[in-house]
Amino acid sequence: MTITGRQTLTLMLAASFASTIGGLPFNSLPILLGALTDSFGFSAQQAGFLGSACFAGFFAGTLAAVFVIDRLSWRLLTAMAAIAASAALLLSSRMPAAAQLPLWALIGFFAALMTCLGLRIMGDMANKERALGLRQGIELGVTALVLFILPAFVIARYQYTGAAITLSLIILLLSLSAFALPRRSLATAQAPQLSLAQQLRLPAIAWGGLCVFFLFLVGQIGLWAFLERMGHALELQPAELGTVFAVLKLLGGAAALVLAIVGDRLGLRLPQLIVFAVICTGLLLLYRADGFLSYAFGAWVWEVGFTWGCVFQSAMIARLDSRGRAIMLIPAAFAASSMVGPALAGTLVAEGFESLLLLALVCAATGAAAFGVYIARRATAAAPEQGSAGIAVASLS
C-alpha cells in the first residue's frame, strides 16, 4: 500500500512525538535526579544508583523492543508504554527510597520502547536522513522547552512531586500521537514470527556499524558528561553556564531540523566528512577556550556536529538492515555508551581536559573513517536490495 506525501508527513510527526516520550525521561534525567535528591534527602551515591537503574532499564528495553515492536499493535504499544512510564513517575514521587530502583528501571524500560518505536518507523522511510532529522529536531525542541519549564517554574515551587506530575502529563499528551500511527508494518505483519535470537541475527555489517556508532558515542557522551566541568574550570558564572546549555539544546534541535530539509541529497560519504570537520572545529575552540565566548562557541559548534553525526550514522545503520531491526538497537548503543563514556572520561579528566578532548577527537575520526569509507560502500550496495519499499510498508488502517 503506497501512502501520499501528506500521510508520510503525518506519520513522521506522529513517530517523532512517540519517540519524544522516550527521550524526555532520558534527557531530563539529571534534573529529575537532582530534584529527587533534594526532595527526599538522598545521597549522591543513591542518586547515582537510580541513574544506573534507569540506564539498565533503558538498555533492557532496547533489547526487548527488537522482539515486541513488530509483534504488537504500535498504537496499543504507545498507549501502554506512556501509561506505564507516567505511572512509574508518579509512584516515584510517593514511594520510599527502597522502591525507587525498580521504578526507575521501569521508567527507563518503557522510555526505550518508545524511542525504538520512533526509530523503527523512521527506518522504514525512503529518505532516512530527512525522517531521522525531523525526529531528533522535534525531540530536542520539546526537551529544551521542558528543561526550561521544569527547573524555573515547577521544581522551584513544587519540588520533585511537581516535576513528576508535569512530566507525566506531557507524556500522556504526547501519547495522543498513537491515533496517527499505523497499527504495524505490513511487511513484518506478513512475515513469520521469529524468536528473540533470530531477531538479533543482523547482517555482520550492521553489527559493525552499531559498534562503530558505539565508539563514536563513547567519546562524545564522555565529553558531554564533563562539559559543564570545563566551563566551571574557566570560572564561568552559573547564569553563563545556563545560557550555554539552553542555547546548546536549541541549536541541537535546529541542526537536526536542517537535516530534515537537506535529507539524503549529500549522499553517504560527504556528510561524514562534514560531521568530522564540524566536531574538530568545536573541539579546537574548546581546547583554546579562555572565557565565556570561546567556551560557548566551542560547545555550540561541537553540539551541531554531534547531532549531525548521530542522525547521519543512524541513517546509515538503517540502510544496512532492510528488515528494520538494526535501527532499533541504536538506543542500546546510546545506553551502553552512556555507561562507558562518562566513566572513561572521568579517568581522563584527572590528567586534564586535553585528554578528554583527544578522546572525543579519536572517536569522531573513527566514526568518520569507518562510515565514510567502508560502511558507506556496503550501504550503497545494499540500497538496491531495499528497493523503494520505504514508506510503502506502513499500514495506516
| pLDDT (0 to 100) of residue 285 | 96
The rounded distance, in Å, linking the Cα atoms of 177 and 18 is 6
| pLDDT (0 to 100) of residue 387 | 45
Closest CA to 395 of 36, 121, 209: 121
Looking up cell 552559573 gives 238
Closest CA to 242 of 162, 160, 155, 152: 152
- pLDDT-based confidence at 173, cuts 50/70/90? very high
Provide the grid cell at 71.
Answer: 509483534
Domain map (residue ranges) of the chain = 5-395
| pLDDT (0 to 100) of residue 190 | 47
Q: To the nearest whole number, what is the mean pLDDT of the chain?
A: 82
Provide the grid cell at 292.
Answer: 565565556
User: Which residues have C-beta within 8 Å of that of residue 268, sequence separation ≥ 6?
Assistant: 316, 319, 372, 376, 379, 380
H runs (alpha helix) in 202-329: 204-225, 227-233, 238-262, 270-287, 292-319
Let me know how many helices (H) and strands (E) the chain has, helices first: 17, 2
The burial of 165, by beta-carbon neighbours within 10 Å (0-12 exposed, 13-18 middle, 19 or more buried), is given as middle
CATH 1.20.1250.20 fits 5-395, yes or no: yes
- Residue 181 · residue 395 · CB < 8 Å: no
pLDDT tens digit string along 55-93? 888 889 988 888 888 788 899 999 999 999 999 999 998
The rounded distance, in Å, linking the Cα atoms of 179 and 197 is 32
- 323: helix, coil or strand? coil
Q: Which residues of 198-211 are buried (b: 16+ CB within 10 A; e: fewer)?
A: ebeebbebbbbbbe
DSSP state letter for 374: I
191 pLDDT more than 60: no
Q: At what angle do helices 330-349 and 100-123 cross, to 10 degrees?
A: 120
pLDDT tens digit string along 81-128? 999 999 999 999 888 877 888 999 999 999 999 998 988 888 778 787
Mean pLDDT, to the nearest integer, of 38-43?
Answer: 78
Other beta carbons within 10 Å of 5: 8
The rounded distance, in Å, linking the Cα atoms of 51 and 148 is 21
The rounded distance, in Å, linking the Cα atoms of 170 and 158 is 17
Provide the grid cell at 99.
Answer: 522502591
- Residue 11 · residue 3 · CB < 8 Å: yes
The rounded distance, in Å, linking the Cα atoms of 175 and 22 is 11
- pLDDT-based confidence at 279, cuts 50/70/90? very high
DSSP state letter for 73: -
* Residue 351, phi then psi, degrees to nearest 5: -100, 5
The angle subtended at Cα 18 by Cα 15 and Cα 21, nearest 5°, is 150
- Residue 42 · residue 97 · CB < 8 Å: yes
pLDDT tens digit string along 280-331? 999 999 999 999 999 999 999 999 999 999 988 888 888 887 777 778 788 8
- Residue 317 · residue 384 · CB < 8 Å: no
- pLDDT-based confidence at 197, cuts 50/70/90? low
